[in-house]
Amino acid sequence: MISQPGSLLVVEDDGDVREFLADDLRARGYRTETSGSCGSAIGLLREQSFDVVLCDVHLPDGDGLSVLRWCQERRQRPSVILLTGYGTIENAVEAMRAGADDYLTKPVVDDQLAESLSRVMARRIDGPHMVSVPPVDPSPVGEMLVGRDPRMQQLFELVDTVARTRTTVLIQGESGTGKTLTARSIHDHSDRRDRPFVEVSCGALSETLLESELFGHVAGAFTGAVSDRPGRFRQADGGTLFLDEIDTASPALQVRLLRAIQDREFEPVGGGRTERVDVRLIVATNKDLEGLVREGEFREDLYYRVNVITLTQPPLRGRSIDIPLLVELYRERFANELGRPVADVDPAAMECLCEYHWPGNVRELVNVIERAVVLCRGEVIRLDDLPEAVRREEPRAEAANRLKSALADPERKLIVESLEAHGWNRQQSALSLGINRTTLYKKMKRHGIVAPAH
């Protein structure tokens, strides 16, 4: 790891936040200067050289992006970490698109700053290949991925932004929501598109097989290993490695992955030479990885390494605006593939498809449409061509939703009251509610409760 401290400039107009950050940084051994405006920051940058500038986006005399642009034009360019407002994804997108080396959302808590700094510093030492991505006009990513829902639109925008970097990406989402497709789409929109896209599902293989699958092995490493064999990391050299179901990686594998990501080097199973590869990593999970970290099931350091940028695939339920679009896409595709003259879906069938709650998400929809195209006797898909479960959905879902919201509302109210009473301290609120902290986190997430911005 990086041990030598560097020199930092903190640009933040809120005096308390500024001093808090500066103290934290000085305590970590960084030489740290502070400034409260764009003007004085640029003044300092002219006089002294800094390794990293930590810069607020909103400043009294302008916007942090102007400091970023100023830095980008220098030959000895400092790395820039932008501090964006709470949960405002537009800012995060803009920050990355403008070429920031990293961004943090305020409030900055726990070790986020230190983690970000070590990432940024590591890249500085690593060499020039990570230096800023020039801003380019966004290109549409909608050729294979369709969606009109605003969350999908946001996702496409992020896909487009991250495709131009080699940042590690974490894709979260329920099974069948399109994680694999998104990973593929990032690769196809990156400048690595002509190099391999290699996919490995961590859940599909036993621990030893998975290690050898990823890192390769030397002859004699284990019974059956008759000759040297390169692993997927090597196969993906110059391209993208997509690790699906990362949550299922064993503790031992997590350690090896951490090292491979951190140092970009690894040894094949059974010894042999250390190998170095240039791989863009995308990982995916259908679990709540942060929750697994809290429960001690997933290494925190690895989590921070993979969670540089997170993309969340929204489930298909509650996205009914996208259903006709997807139905059309796949009706046409299967009609062509299967050579059947199915040209339309009748309104009753479409309504039913829009009402259904799709527990298997888009994957389930794709299967339902394929089946309907096969079963369809004429040119139009009708109610009869849909599976029983889809047709019967409506009354049941409505009843279940009514019950759920009737139960959920008082619970939400209680939790918010308790959090407010304890100044949003989760430990104390959990205690007063008689539940543990993890349960409280889960409930907050389920009810969409977020602490107010400071």
Ligand X SMILES: Nc1ncnc2c1ncn2[C@@H]1O[C@H](COP(=O)(O)OP(=O)(O)O)[C@@H](O)[C@H]1O
Q: At its nearest, how many Å lie between Mg ion and the CB of residue 317?
A: 18
Selected range binding Mg ion among 135-143, 151-159, 177-185, 385-393, rule: CB under 5 A: 177-185
Min separation Cβ 269 and ligand X, Å: 27
Cβ contact 173:286 at 8 Å: yes
Q: Which is nearer to ligand X, 84 or 313 (CB)?
A: 313
CA distances to 104, 205, 377 from 6, rounded to whole Å, are: 19, 42, 71
Q: Tell which residue, 240, 197, 233, has the closest CA to residue 214.
A: 233
Stretch that binds Mg ion, among 99-107, 171-179, 245-253, 411-419 (CB under 5 A): 171-179
DSSP 99: T
For position 248 contacting Mg ion by CB under 5 A, the verdict is: no
At CA 237, angle to CA 236 and CA 238, rounded to 5? 110
Q: Which residue is nearest to Mg ion (CB)?
A: 180
Nearest of 105, 114, 53, 59 to residue 84 by alpha carbon = 105
Q: Does 180 sit near Mg ion (CB under 5 A)?
A: yes
Region near ligand X per CB under 6 A, out of 71-79, 170-178, 215-223, 381-389 = 170-178
**Helix, strand, or coil here: 104?**
strand
- Asked if 200 touches ligand X (CB under 6 A), the answer is no
Shortest CB 347 distance to Mg ion, Å: 32
State in angstroms the smallest separation of the CB of 203 from Mg ion.
10
312 binds ligand X (CB under 6 A): no
> Among residues 9, 69, 65, 14, which one has the least CA distance to residue 40?
9
| x/- track of binding to ligand X for residues 363-402 (CB under 6 A) | x--x------------------------------------
C-alpha triplet 333, 339, 345: angle, nearest 5°: 55
Q: Residue 312, exposed/middle/buried by CB under 10 A (0-12, 13-18, 19+)?
A: middle
User: With respect to ligand X, which residue has the nearer C-beta, 5 or 203?
Assistant: 203
Residue of 37, 118, 154, 175 that binds ligand X (CB under 6 A): 175
Q: Select 85 or 142, whichever has its Cβ closest to ligand X.
A: 142
216 binds, among Mg ion, ligand X, none (CB under 5 to 8 A by kind): none
- Which one of Mg ion, ligand X, none interacts with residue 362, CB within 5 to 8 A by kind? ligand X
Q: What are phi and psi of 244, to 5 degrees?
A: -90, 155
Residue 314 found at the interface with ligand X (CB under 6 A)? no
Task: Kindly tell me which residue out of 146, 292, 416, 435 binds ligand X, with binding defined by CB under 6 A.
Answer: 146
E strands, 299-389, where? 309-312, 344-345, 380-381
177 counts as binding ligand X under rule CB under 6 A:
yes
**CB 244 to Mg ion: min, Å:** 5
Count of residues engaged in binding ligand X, rule: CB under 6 A: 17
One DSSP character per residue, 213-271 reads HHH-B-TTSSTT--S-B--HHHHTTTSEEEEE-GGG--HHHHHHHHHHHHHSEE--BT-
| Pick 32 or 313: Cβ nearer ligand X | 313
d(CA 111, CA 167): 19
Q: What is the DSSP letter of 202?
A: T
Rounded CA-CA distance 184/447 in Å is: 32
The residues of the shown chain that bind ligand X, judged by CB under 6 A, are 145-147, 173, 175-181, 313, 326, 329, 362-363, 366
